[in-house]
Amino acid sequence: MDHTPTSIDQLPTPALVVEKSIFDRNVALMAEARPGAALRPHVKAFKSTSLAKQLVDAGHHRFCAATAGEIEGMVRAGLDSDLLLANEIIDYVRLGRLVDGGANITVAVDSEDVLNAVIDGGVRRVLIDVEVGLPRCGCDPEDAGRLAELARAEGLDVRGVMGYEGHLMMVPTQERRAEKVEAAMALLLRAHADVGGDIVSAGGTGTYAVNTWANEIQAGSYCLMDTQYATLEIPFEQALSVLSSVVSVSPKGWAVVDAGLKSFGMDHGNPTWPDGELRFCSDEHATLSVEPGQLRFGDRVRLQTAHVDPTIAKHERMWVVDGSEVIDQWPIDLRHW
Amino acid sequence: MDHTPTSIDQLPTPALVVEKSIFDRNVALMAEARPGAALRPHVKAFKSTSLAKQLVDAGHHRFCAATAGEIEGMVRAGLDSDLLLANEIIDYVRLGRLVDGGANITVAVDSEDVLNAVIDGGVRRVLIDVEVGLPRCGCDPEDAGRLAELARAEGLDVRGVMGYEGHLMMVPTQERRAEKVEAAMALLLRAHADVGGDIVSAGGTGTYAVNTWANEIQAGSYCLMDTQYATLEIPFEQALSVLSSVVSVSPKGWAVVDAGLKSFGMDHGNPTWPDGELRFCSDEHATLSVEPGQLRFGDRVRLQTAHVDPTIAKHERMWVVDGSEVIDQWPIDLRHW
């Protein structure tokens, strides 16, 4: 591109667009509900250190991440005052190097094998990762105390526990979600009683309001939002969309835009076109149902994604807009692994 | 990474892996069925000029693409002896610059609006893009002759027609697929009678064998393949997989590997684990059902993708392997737009 775009009409499409006023409102709402260290924003959702800095401005200084690459990028950006790798990985040597350089990094540990890899890699701070109902990472709550003891015997700093109730994010009502989260957190608190440490880390955008047992919430999607989370009764609104251009219009009642499977995370289903029906996506296109004259070649259309995290990971940058004005761009610099 | 890996055990995971012997067999099979210019490989499937060069070695010199970025990358790599942009886009100025530089670029045109944008952009060669049943780009067959006349009146080189029968790729039997393709191609041939020119371009991996009406086939997935195309009775085998590492094993009967929604195109469903059940994918993880002792922390697991094109687009490179030996890497240099 020759010039920095100042209007969304100048953006090359497909383009990931963030409506700044909505983003700011989402961030402020969460900072009020979970101020400072009560929120540990999860960078996997947005993969951008520029966006993370906005959350620092809102008072959150501790972050969590899912990959070694995300941790490395946060350290490069100087956002390493308290970083948590909130799941297990295979190569802790990459993180040990950063610890040697002075970064404050804590990792989740759910087995002796992982503990040994963490020690070999040179990382010195851990949380015991407890399975609280989601069939993914995490040890049995009964095993957490033993792992903590092993870690402390090796001189590690065991800072507490984490347990991600990811299976409960989409439980339909706040009341039922609260009940189920309470049961999941009972498992985590039982483990915490054995493990000790200051941190009880859990939660996400779906449970931030009802998880009153964790002392830090690992939410990330709340600041950009997607159509799936929008079905919950939470106050955050969709700040993210994919701007596309109409490249073809058929007299048979459809129009084609230049954003498709390679622009959207598709695991939660098709993107949404707020002005009508989106029929299907192809690799680089979406077919929209239109009335005669509704859309013309070159028109701009914003589509909303069903799942923010994998959508973000497909793009190189977010364009930050105020209506039709482009006011900033945030590189998505934490992509890949 | 400090060193170039020579064994798959050294690859950072998740890693996109191409089994070279299978790839070579797929390429040879297609080159026999559709030699030279009878195949116009579609780079959208693999987004790599290194891979494209393998197809040049197999005798194919004409390529097609879906985005301006893919065309630009092919030109940079010197693979521009005959490039077709096989759908409409919004910005033809990017391609006009390449034409000015000597690249041989043809674009698909399905409306007067697009034709005007093509002329304004400085592109001089077109195919008339005809809708043959897929609700996406393409003009009415009855309108093709008029568009060709308009183009020729502006001094453009109208090289023929294209019409993508994408809705027929997965019709279950060769016989039924052949019948339906014949009907779709009848529309394209009717348009061709009005348009003229040497080229009748159509088809894909699903219809390369049964589309005997097109004189060039736009296939790309055949060389790497995915689990969806593998359900058809076509001779190509899966050369592509995502190598992952086991990061967590639960005594409750599952193991977690470090490849998930951000490593796979998910629009055609979950990836496949050939050795057992894949339960679900999370952002960076897949949960596999395992017997006690079946998998341990650090074990390597290859998963197969359901849709090759959007999977490739998520990765920075393909590692080319011969069994456990890494013999080459192909940068995925045609990503983004």
Q: Do B297 and A138 touch (CB under 8 A)?
A: no
* CA B213, B217, B223, B226 torsion-angle sign: negative
Shortest distance, CA A53 to any CA of chain B (angstroms):
23
Residue A36 identity (one-letter amino acid): G
**DSSP state string for B235-284:** S----EEEEEEEEEEETTTEEEES--TTTS--TT---BBTTB-EEEE-SS
Q: Do A307 and B261 touch (CB under 8 A)?
A: yes
- Identify the domain containing residue A102 by its residue range: 20-222
* CA A41, A47, A49, A53 torsion-angle sign: negative
Summarize pLDDT for A4-42 with one digit per residue, the tens. 899 999 999 999 999 999 999 999 999 999 999 999 999
A64 interaction partners in chain B (CB closer than 8 Å): none
Q: Is the pLDDT of residue A178 over 90?
A: yes
ipTM of the complex: 0.97
> Which range is least confidently modeled, B95-104, B164-173, B281-290?
B164-173
Q: Is the pLDDT of residue B130 over 90?
A: yes
Say yes or no: B66 and B198 in one domain: yes
The per-residue pLDDT for A1 is 47
Say yes or no: B260 and B318 in one domain: yes
Say yes or no: A253 and A183 in one domain: no
Q: How many domains does chain B have?
A: 2
> Does B193 map to a domain?
yes
Say yes or no: A125 and A102 in one domain: yes
Say yes or no: B30 and B174 in one domain: yes
Shortest distance, CA B27 to any CA of chain A (angstroms):
22
Minimum CA–CA partner of B131 in chain A: A250
Q: Considering chain B, what is the average pLDDT of its residues?
A: 97
The CATH number that applies at residue A25 is: 3.20.20.10
Say yes or no: A299 and A169 in one domain: no
Q: Do A265 and B261 touch (CB under 8 A)?
A: yes
Residue A43 in 3-state DSSP? helix
Strand partners, B317: B331
Q: Do A247 and B137 touch (CB under 8 A)?
A: yes
Burial tier of B3 (Cβ tally within 10 Å: 0-12, 13-18, 19+) = exposed
| pLDDT band at B35; cut points 50, 70, 90 | very high
Say yes or no: B158 and B251 in one domain: no
> Does B231 map to a domain?
no
Say yes or no: A141 and A217 in one domain: yes
